[in-house]
Amino acid sequence: AIPASAFKAKALPLHVNITHTPPSIVTTEDADAVAPEDVGLIGTLTLVPSTFSTGSYGWKGSKRITVELQGSETSEHGKEKVQVMLSINATVVGSKQAEGETEGAKEPEKDEE
């Protein structure tokens, strides 16, 4: 893994779509087709490059979203909705042991005898 400072300088944000629509399998004939509008889209979340308190690094993001319950009965206010706090941490595998990031770390003191 690379040092955390290099990761944060080079990493771009990640964008996540939350949807009820399952992913489709794209064939080579469909590769140039424009993606249809996602009618099941619930919300989006942007993950930003971050260093975690554990010493590892990756991307993180959180957002409050409203999810409409599909199986609920419709009342005068429409379908039942719930508030959800969505939090995502995407940790780079092996980043905790990244080389070159020893800021603040002290070498053990040697006993003199």
Residue 110 in any domain: the answer is: no
Span 59-80, pLDDT tens digits: 999 999 999 887 766 666 677 8
Residue 104 in any domain: the answer is: no
Report residue 28's pLDDT band, with 50, 70 and 90 as the boundaries. Answer: low
Residue 61 in any domain: the answer is: yes
Domain that holds residue 18: 4-24+37-94
Residue 112 in any domain: the answer is: no
Total domain count, the chain: 1
CA nearest neighbour of 94 among 28, 7, 35: 7
Residue 56 in any domain: the answer is: yes
Residue 101 in any domain: the answer is: no
pTM beyond 0.75: no
Residue 31 in any domain: the answer is: no
Region of residue 11 (left: phi > 0; alpha: psi -120 to 50; beta: else): beta
Residue 15 in any domain: the answer is: yes
Q: How far is CA 43 from CA 8, 65, 78, 108, in A?
A: 26, 7, 19, 49
